Amino acid sequence: MDREKLKASRRWVVKIGSALVTARGRGLDHAAIAGWCAQIASLRADGHQIVLVSSGAVAEGMARLGLNKRPATIHGLQAAAAVGQMGLVRAYESAFAQHGIHAAQILLTHEDVSDRGRYLNARGTLKQLLEWGVVPVVNENDTVATDEIRLGDNDTLAALTVNLLEAELLVILTDQDGLFDADPRVSPAASLVREAELSDTRLLDMAQPSKGDFGSGGMRTKLTAALWAARSGAATVIAPGRAAGILQSIASGDAVGTLLKPVQNVMAARKRWIAGQLQVRGKLQLDDGAVRVLREQGRSLLPVGVRRAEGRFDRGDLVACVDAQGREVARGLANYSAAEAARLLGAPSTEIAARLGYPGEPELIHRDNLVLAT
């Protein structure tokens, strides 16, 4: 997808980071929020569907409570998020109301997207809101979800939302001009990357992880989000959120920010759901033959190719498949528990009934429930 083709994209997920929303922790920047909401209203008038993923609950809570440093404990982060969420939602509701637009608050955890039923329910709700002309404002449910705050970046949530809705474009608004080939804070000669294909292995070297007092993550989390969004064929634009009319500029195909273009084949919806799960419950170590079969032939994983089972997992849980060096080859939903898998190591499918004492599936992971690592 090039800049010109961006004009044809209709369903967007727009993510706005904490540093922008809260003016570097000084409380919500209501003028900036009003500006983004006005741009979104204009995009909607042109036929776009917009889902907004907004950080800022923890940072706004810190400002309201007079905290100078991000809380170091999970309960502190959860309490700050609970206080800040009130102001964040009110700010977006008021700003969209100026344009006659209803907003809806959607709070998700990774459990909501790892459970198939809850995943489909969330998808249906978001699609209905878009059909009604509502702008969903999505955030992690920080007040109850411990893992999300520790992993803690809405870039990931935005990418999962792209996959959930099969959006065509992920826009990540940040306080930087885009992705640079080196850290511009320490390298004055760093150059802005205008466009790149996500298959370019140099991108990870360019994207440095970082953490600030009011947000979390860095360019590396944004690049990872772009890779995840590409699973549904979406492009990603990382752009300066404070630039005037930035969303209109992107919609017009202007050369702003960094455009990251997808190159991989689009995953089927069920495989996108599997790939989007973050809680890996166990690990299966494969022999070289099984690694080749998965990578080159796209077949199911049979017990005969598995050398070791680690972790505590049940049937249907997500497990990682690794090679002899521990590198992830694939991940998928197990047909057997960890105890059962341990009894089947190296067994041909014809021996499954004898080893378990009852007939079972011939595969440890069926190919329909298996996703290769990117």
Is the pLDDT confidence value at 215 over 60?
no
Q: What pTM, to 2 d.p., does this model score? A: 0.78
Claim to verify: residue 175 and residue 284 sit in the same structural domain: no
The CB-based long-range contact list for 41-45 (8 Å cut-off, 24+ gap) reads: 41/96, 41/99, 41/101, 42/247, 42/248, 43/12, 43/247, 43/248, 43/251, 44/101, 44/133, 44/135
Claim to verify: residue 68 and residue 197 sit in the same structural domain: yes
Claim to verify: residue 265 and residue 291 sit in the same structural domain: no
Is the pLDDT confidence value at 114 over 60?
yes
Quick one: pLDDT band at residue 265, thresholds 50, 70, 90? low
Claim to verify: residue 266 and residue 163 sit in the same structural domain: yes
- Residue 94 has a pLDDT of 97
Claim to verify: residue 116 and residue 183 sit in the same structural domain: yes
Q: How many domains does the chain have?
A: 2
pLDDT tens for each residue of 355-371: 999 888 899 999 888 98
Strand stretches in the chain, DSSP E: 11-16, 49-54, 103-108, 135-140, 169-174, 195-197, 235-240, 258-261, 282-286, 306-311, 318-322, 328-333, 370-372
Final residue of a structural domain among 215, 246, 271: 271
pLDDT tens for each residue of 287-302: 999 999 998 898 999 9
Task: Compute the distance between CA of residue 191 and CA of residue 173 in angstroms, rounded to an integer.
Answer: 19
Structural domain boundaries enclosing 103: 3-271
- Which residue, 184, 191, 178, is CA-closest to 254? 178
CATH number at residue 362: 2.30.130.10
132, HSE (Cβ side, Cα atoms, 13 Å) = 13
